[in-house]
Amino acid sequence: MIRTFLRTFAWALAGLLLLAIAVILLFRFVNPPTSAFMLAHQLSGSGQEIRQEWVSLDDISPWMPLAVVASEDQRFPQHHGVDFGAIRKALSEYQAGQGLRGASTITQQTAKNLFLWNGRSFIRKALEAGLALGIDGLWPKRRIIEVYLNIAEFGDGVYGVEAASQLYFGIPASQLSQTRSAQLAAVLPNPKALSAANPSGYVWERVAWIRGQMAQLSGLRYLHGLYN
């Protein structure tokens, strides 16, 4: 009886793994029609319509991917979906009595936004890490940053950089300046509380910090490989 259960469980797990790989591979070539976060927003009954317009990376100002990398994941070009060094550092700081900070990469955030739910459970973090490793193995970095910028939440019901740029600044994402890109990146940690359209003093502080990090990363040359 137990052996039969374990065999059935193993087959079910293998089936789920194959399905996940197939979906990840599909989304390498096909733009996702929605995301788990967008579906959750629709089911929340908030009454706030979703704003999103998909654009290719070529139609996004190159300042924007640099801004989110500078803000969220500076080792994005080097790691393989999960930054184990950043995780070890965060755990060491936590054990030393500091607060537990996030160590999610852009790839992990893409996996979470696309497939999972919000929260801090270890189950979700484990799934997020596994999906991130799969995404990094099956997608080029260019595709990861393109999908991320099109599904990231920039405000209540506002998903993707094109919708955010049009709504907050009245311009397409292709025309975003360095400062406006940093404004959008600055709200990503908490887009429902932080505003890119009406930045608080805290947001402006983050904008200044992000711009400084963008300069330290050698500007647009840091991500030149995404456009080659």
Kindly list the domain boundaries of the chain, sorted by start residue: 1-30, 31-227
Q: What is the mean pLDDT of the chain?
A: 88
d(CA 170, CA 158) in angstroms, rounded, equals: 14
Task: Kindly tell me the number of DSSP H helices and DSSP E strands found in the chain.
Answer: 10, 2
Span 164-207, pLDDT tens digits: 999 999 999 999 999 999 999 999 989 989 999 999 999 999 99
First to last CA, the chain: 56
Span 22-69, pLDDT tens digits: 889 999 999 999 999 999 998 887 777 899 999 999 999 999 999 999
Tell me the torsion sign for CA atoms 105, 106, 109, 111: negative
pLDDT bracket for residue 117 (50, 70, 90): confident
Residue 81 carries which side chain, given as an amino acid letter?
Answer: G
> What token pair was written down for 53?
């317009």
Query: 205 by DSSP, 3-state: which?
Result: helix
Is CATH 1.10.3810.10 the classification given to domain 31-227?
yes
What is the reported pTM?
A: 0.89
> Cβ distance 110 to 151 under 8 Å?
yes
pLDDT at 219 over 90: no
Find, among 60, 38, 71, the residue nearest to 171 by Cα. Answer: 60
> What token pair was written down for 228?
């080659």
pLDDT bracket for residue 87 (50, 70, 90): low
